[in-house]
Every structure is written in C-alpha cells, then in structure tokens.
Amino acid sequence: MFWVGLILGLVLGANISLFLYAVILTGKRSDEALERRNIK
C-alpha cells in the first residue's frame, strides 16, 4: 500500500507542477503581448 501511495503522489505532484508551469508561461506570454500593444 505504501508504494501505491508513493507512486500516486509522485504522478499527481508532477501533473500539478506541469499545470502550474503552463499557467505561468501563459500569463507571461499574455503580459508580453499586452506590453507590445501598449508600446505601438
């Protein structure tokens, strides 16, 4: 049972980390796009 919990935790943790990374990248790109529109 310990190994099932360990593997499940690692998988869920990796998925959450990748999701947060994608959200941060999306926000950064949208900020850059807004800055380009304001400069022009």
pLDDT in tens, 2-36: 999 999 999 999 999 999 999 999 999 988 888 88
Residue 40, pLDDT above cutoff 70 = no
Residues 6+ apart with CB under 8 A from 33: none
d(CA 24, CA 13): 17
Counted domains in the chain: 1
Range of the domain at 10: 1-40
d(CA 18, CA 24): 10
Res 34: pLDDT: 84
d(CA 33, CA 35): 5
